[in-house]
Structure 1
Amino acid sequence: MIDDGGLGAAAALFKVLGSASRLQLLQLLSAEPRTVGALVSATGMSQPLVSQHLRTLRHAGIATVARAGRDAVYQLADHHIAHVIDDAVAHVLEETPSTTLQGAAS
């Protein structure tokens, strides 16, 4: 087996990040830990959908959960992921000459 230098794990990470809803949840968690209810209020998503996305993020090791009484409080497991998301958003918002030309050709 050839060592891929972490490319397989990076591809799996990008697969988990391939949802705008999960990216939105991660952006909110990068600001501060939040409960499911707070995430539902901030996003307008249903509670079951938020919980499903959080489960995916927990299984990927991107988010963690801790109990505070009856509430489950979620936070980022590692703030490096916030930088990855911020960089990706900044990249897609950049207007470059090649992007402009591609848009004009469509």
Structure 2
Amino acid sequence: MTTPEAYEAAGELLRALAAPLRIAIVTELRDGPRCVHELVDALGVAQPLVSQHLRVLRGASVVRGERRGREIAYSLTDEHIGRIVADAVSHAGESDTSPHEAPPVRPVTG
């Protein structure tokens, strides 16, 4: 049985992931650690904006930073988070259903 605390923690995780740019950052970090300037280049957004969203993700323990000389390389704290985001993006990109329609019922065979 799932506890109320687990539901609360899941809600906090989903709130941290609830911004398109944070989803994009997590998607980039699925391929491995990235420094802020690499995320800026990959996502085409301003550095202060990337840093602001990284702070939110760090606060929610979605990402961690590791110093590399003068830079900090950010990585996901857990590969499951990357899969959650990839599944959500994939699901949202499915073109055969809109958010307001129920998916078609498929007959059960066999």
Q: TM-score, normalised by structure 2?
A: 0.82
CA 1:101 to 1:37, structure 2 compared with 1: closer, same or farther past 3 Å?
closer
The amino acid of 2:40's aligned partner reads V
Cα distance in 2 for residues equivalent to 1:86 and 1:43: 16
Q: Show the counterpart of 2:76.
A: 76
Secondary structure at 2:87 match in 1: helix
Q: Secondary structure at the match of 2:4?
A: coil
2:62 match: 62
Structure 1 unaligned regions, length at least 5? none
- Give the drift of 1:32: 1.4
Cα RMSD, aligned residues only: 1.7
Match of 1:93 in 2: 93
Deviation string, structure 1 residues 49-93 (Cα, Å, up to 9, x no partner): 101101111110000001111011100111100110111112222
Compared CA separation, residues 71 and 10, structure 1 to 2 (3 A): same
User: Is residue 36 of structure 1 aligned with residue 36 of structure 2?
Assistant: yes
1:23 is aligned to: 23
- Cα distance in structure 2, aligned partners of 1:12 and 1:93: 24
Report percent identity of matched pairs: 38
State the 4+ residue runs in structure 1 displaced beyond 6 angstroms. none
Q: 1:101 to 1:68 in 2, by over 3 A?
A: closer
Shift of 1:101: 7.3
**TM-score normalised according to structure 1 size:** 0.85
* Counterpart residue number, 1:53: 53
Q: What is the letter of the counterpart of residue 19 of structure 1?
A: A
Change (3 A) 1:45 1:5: same
- Determine the C-alpha separation between the residues in 2 that align with 1:39 and 1:100: 30
